[in-house]
Amino acid sequence: MASTTLTAPAPRGYDPAAAKPFLEQFDRVKDGLPGAGLSWLNELRSQGQARFAALGLPTVKNESWRYTNLRALDKLTFQPAAETGEAVRFDVLPTVRADGATGPRLVFVDGRFRAELSSTTGLPAGVELLNLADALTRKPDLVAEHLGRIAAPDDRTLVALNTAFLADGPVLHVPRGVTVDETIELVFVSVGSEAQPTAFHPRGLIVAEAESHAVIVEHHVGLGSCTTLSNGVTEVFVGEGASVHHYKVQREHAESFHLSHTAAKVAGKGVYDNFILTIGAKLSRNEVNSVLDGEEGDTHVSGAYMVRGGQHVDTTTFIDHAKPCCTSREVYKGVIDDQARAVFQGKIIVRPDAQKTDGYQQNRALLLSDTAEIDAKPELEIYADDVKCSHGATVGELDDDQLFYLRARGIDKAEARGLLIGAFLSEALEEIAEESVRDAFQSYVADWQNVR
């Protein structure tokens, strides 16, 4: 991106003043960031810094942010995560594995890699699983070739912010033709500090070469109750005929802000399968962008969310049918209780040459209280004629007839409601192809329901 474009004034819907507290830190920390000696990386970081400085945070006048207000962030001054060293210990880390089983895993606490908790056990030869800070010294070419290529620091201002501060995160490289049988787990723990709100910007990179296969599960959890901001960006490259199953569960605590941007690029006949289960955080937004960049590619972008109290959850997806004969499928289900608010924005674009596209999107939400709110904006933008695209959205409460049916069989109201809510969410979880993951996610859903 040309430097003039980077410093171009903010278009409508940004608040440049909000950039200031973050930028003051940038000058302080930039020389200490991993890979600070690499000129290409310095260049990328300063691009991010320049764009974020010009834009600041998005406001509700920004079409993509009309339903999610980040003003709460504005009131807080976030500091970079302090060295927690080994001070934070864990009795147990979240996993989808059976008790006691071990497998490949990377653990990050407040965005920093924790080698002693991580393992590369069970990976086939040639597969690289390491943290970004290490990758910059051990695999600089791999990182240089891919980092910032599909999530560029453009008008997505939070990507620009992440790019400016990027320091660590998971890196996975699966060579051509290799199948990773073991599920790879990535664990992110937010701890923060009593002293001040803490921000970190995890940056992930997944490169699956042609005909390779991998299953990845991300766990995002919180410890304690300090205010944290996780502003993550992950780039996923799916090679020809490769498949990446990418699952994520976010169970952060009630004082955390969770912003995440996942950008995938799928080559011909490749498969990118993404599922996000959102349970935690005060405010969370998951953006998933999947570009079908080769013929006969396939992408699934699905998820479920359940929120209560004063939680705010935003799911914003963008499926880009750039080439012919691709398919996409999107199924989202959500349950909103108390004063919680959910936002779903899903856009499918079919480019002029992307004939024979088959796109499907379904978004359903249940409101459980009189003060809950859902805002949905499913969007189709189609420039090719020989396509089949549909989307549907429904919002409402539990079906009275179904409730009556259960109650007529002697099931009390609370239990009947629980059964129906569980069944409703299960339909979304069915989108998860991997059984162990589906079972684990199902148990998180049950835990959420049991709190009531």
Partner 1 sequence: MAATTETVEQVRAVTEQKYKYGFTTDIESDVAPKGLNEDTVRFISAKKEEPEWLLEWRLKAFRVWQEMEEPRHWAKLSYPPIDYQDAHYYAAPKMKDRPKSLDEVDPELLKTYEKLGIPLREQEILAGVEGAEGKSPAIAVDAVFDSVSVATTFKAKLEEMGIIFCSISEAVHKCPELVQKYLGSVVPYTDNFYATLNCAVFTDGSFVYIPKGVRCPMELSTYFRINQANTGQFERTLIIADEGSYVSYLEGCTAPKRDENQLHAAVVELVALDDAQIKYSTVQNWYPGNEDGVGGIYNFVTKRGACRGRNSKISWTQVETGSAITWKYPSCILQGDNSVGEFYSVAITNNFQQADTGTKMIHIGKNTRSTIVSKGISAGRAQQTYRGLVKILPKAEGARNHTQCDSLLIGDQCGAHTVPYIENRNRTARVEHEATTAKISEDQLFYCRQRGLSEEDAVSLIVNGFCKEVLKELPMEFAVEAQKLVGISLEGSVG
Residues that bind partner 1 (CB under 8 A): 12, 63, 352, 355, 365, 367-397
SS3 of residue 7 by DSSP: coil
> From the CB of 296, what's the least distance to partner 1, in Å?
19
92 vs 414, beta carbon nearer partner 1: 414
265 vs 323, beta carbon nearer partner 1: 323
Which runs of E-coded beta strand occur in 195-293?
Answer: 198-200, 203-208, 213-222, 228-238, 243-251, 256-266, 271-278, 283-292
> From the CB of 65, what's the least distance to partner 1, in Å?
14
CA–CA gap between residue 229 and residue 259 (Å, rounded): 8
The two structure tokens encoding residue 249:
């569960």
Q: How many CB atoms lie within 10 A of CB 389?
A: 17
Residues whose CB is less than 8 angstroms from the CB of residue 39 and which lie 6 or more positions away in sequence, other chains included: none
212 vs 327, beta carbon nearer partner 1: 327
> From the CB of 317, what's the least distance to partner 1, in Å?
15
CA–CA gap between residue 36 and residue 27 (Å, rounded): 12
399 vs 412, beta carbon nearer partner 1: 399
> From the CB of 73, what's the least distance to partner 1, in Å?
23
Maximal CA-CA distance, the chain: 71
> From the CB of 381, what's the least distance to partner 1, in Å?
5
CA 37 to chain centre: 29
Paired sense of beta strands 128-131 and 170-174, if any: antiparallel
Q: How far is CA 276 from CA 106, 132, 353, 389, 432, in A?
A: 19, 23, 30, 23, 10
Using the structure block, give the residue that is written with the tokens 């653990």: 107
Instruction: Return the exposure string of 309-335: e unless at least 16 CB atoms fall within 10 Å of the residue's CB, then b.
Output: eebbbbbbbbbbbbbbbbbbbbbbbbb
Give the side-chain half-sphere CA count within 13 A for 269: 8
> From the CB of 55, what's the least distance to partner 1, in Å?
16
CA–CA gap between residue 51 and residue 59 (Å, rounded): 16
265 vs 347, beta carbon nearer partner 1: 347
> From the CB of 358, what's the least distance to partner 1, in Å?
11
54 vs 374, beta carbon nearer partner 1: 374
6 vs 365, beta carbon nearer partner 1: 365
> From the CB of 337, what's the least distance to partner 1, in Å?
10
The two structure tokens encoding residue 285:
């937004």
Q: What stretch of H or E contains 330?
A: strand 327-336
Q: How far is CA 256 from CA 31, 110, 325, in A?
A: 28, 12, 41
304 vs 368, beta carbon nearer partner 1: 368
Give the side-chain half-sphere CA count within 13 A for 89: 2
79 vs 355, beta carbon nearer partner 1: 355
> From the CB of 397, what's the least distance to partner 1, in Å?
5
139 vs 356, beta carbon nearer partner 1: 356
> From the CB of 386, what's the least distance to partner 1, in Å?
6
